[in-house]
Amino acid sequence: MWYNPNILAIAAERISTDLYSVISHIALFLSLTVLPFVMGGGVLAVLYGRRARELHMADCLLTGWIVCIGLAEVAHLAALFLRQSFSRAVMLFDAGVILTTLLAGVLLLWRRRAENAGGRRARSRAPRHWNTETRQVVLALLFLLFVVYQLVTITVSANVYRAGDMTVETVESFLRTDSLYQINPMTGRAYTEGVPLRLRILCLPTLYGAISRTFGLPVTHVVWKVMPVTVLILSYLAYYLLALALFPGEGDREKRMIFLIFAALILCVGDYRYGMDGFGILYSGFRGVTIRNGVLLPYTFGLLLRRRFRSAALCVLAEVCIVWTLYGAGACLLVLAVMGAVLLYRKPERAGAGEEAGT
């Protein structure tokens, strides 16, 4: 009686389903890291030329994600205004990502070959002491502890704050109708009055829908788990780059790690209220405002402190694609303007100061 003739079929089905899930998650992980990394590297090479070598790997990944947002916006607007189906938008987005990655990859390889032909420069590293290294390992473990807590909160607890948000419903309506904003996501019925243009131009639902469709994952999984985890990681990369700008010295590695620990701690304990950075990162990492506050703004600060104004301009554009702004004037633009002014302001030199210094 224990033998079920269908057991093999059931097991095969289960294994194939699990295998498919594992493969799609591996493909997803690679796509969310490798492709943006290559794209970002290429874009930075175009923006900064040889000076792009001075930038960090995290810059490549963050820039790559900004490029992804840009590509999603292009696909979204094309489908919206040319009245194309959602499938077309997904195809356009996927093609854009692949093409940009290929172009960026070719550019980076060409650059690398040119550099190699010119002779490699050996990197010098400061000698380290055992005591310092041990301390850094302890600090890294402490940081990881906070990150693991946050990852568990996002993935296992799956506590999502949904008030005032309808991302999942919107993406589901895109996938179900294979069109953009044809039905009201709240009721599933056709719109009677329509959608405000300020909402229609934002690309996050298309981005999430494209990820869901491309990798065959449920929308809730993409929106409530995959994206918040991605945003959490991107946020720490942005904070790391900010730490690099605040503590740039070769001997400041420890300071940067402590800075990250405190940032992680603040994000953990600051989850008490909607609008706080920690709350957004832990409970609504998929929202545009969270991406802005958790990733784009810290990255913008880091870029400005490192005088990378072109990349900061990309952050401004990315914000316009994901958050309601005052006709394109968002938080990143204000930060760029004010912080840029603060950084570029030079105190007028006192008359004779040079002479005094020379004496």
Q: Can you tell me the distance from the alpha carbon of 203 to that of 313, in angstroms, rounded to the nearest whole number?
A: 18
Q: Are 237 and 248 in contact (CB under 8 A)?
A: no
Distance CA 191, CA 341 (A): 45
Amino acid type, 56 = H
Pick from 20, 291, 327, 66: which is nearest to 167 by CA?
A: 291
290 touches other proteins by CB under 8 A: no
Site string for other proteins, 164-203 (x = CB under 8 A): xxx-xx--xx-xx-------xxxxxx-xxxxxx--x----
Stretch that binds other proteins, among 4-12, 50-58, 326-334, 350-358 (CB under 8 A): 326-334
With CB under 8 A as the contact rule, the residue among 127, 275, 348, 358 that binds other proteins is 275
The interaxial angle of helices 86-117 and 7-48, nearest 10 deg, is: 60
Give the amino acid at 219: V
**248 vs 352, which CB is nearer to other proteins?**
248
If one asks whether residue 246 binds other proteins (CB under 8 A), the answer comes out as yes
Our finding on whether 233 is near other proteins (CB under 8 A) is no
Chain residues 108-147 in contact with other proteins, contact rule CB under 8 A: 131
Q: Which is nearer to other proteins, 43 or 226 (CB)?
A: 226
The verdict on 342 binding other proteins (CB under 8 A) reads: yes
Our CB check for other proteins shows the closer of 5 and 275 to be 275
Q: Residues of 193-214 as b/e, b for ≥16 C-beta within 10 angstroms?
A: eeeeeeeeebbbbbbbbbbbbb
Print the binding letters for residues 21-60 with other proteins: x by CB under 8 A, - otherwise. Answer: ----------------------------------------
Tell whether residue 157 is a contact of other proteins (CB under 8 A). Answer: yes
- Applying CB under 8 A, among 1, 163, 351, 357 the residue interacting with other proteins is 163
With binding defined as CB under 8 A, does residue 317 bind other proteins?
no
Is 93 a residue that touches other proteins (CB under 8 A)?
A: no
Cα(34)–Cα(40) distance, integer angstroms? 10
d(CA 273, CA 81): 38
Identify residues 211-230 at the interface with other proteins (CB under 8 A). 219-220
Among 329, 352, 353, 354, binds other proteins (CB under 8 A): 329
Task: Single out the residue of 147, 229, 266, 317 in contact with other proteins (rule: CB under 8 A).
Answer: 266
Query: Is residue 286 involved in binding other proteins (CB under 8 A)?
Result: no
Among 100, 212, 293, 311, binds other proteins (CB under 8 A): 293
User: Which stretches of the chain are DSSP H helices?
Assistant: 7-48, 57-81, 86-117, 130-152, 167-177, 197-200, 204-215, 219-221, 227-246, 253-269, 277-283, 288-291, 297-305, 309-322, 331-344, 353-358
CA distances to 128, 231, 260, 263, 276 from 236, in Å = 25, 9, 7, 8, 16
Q: Which is nearer to other proteins, 92 or 172 (CB)?
A: 172
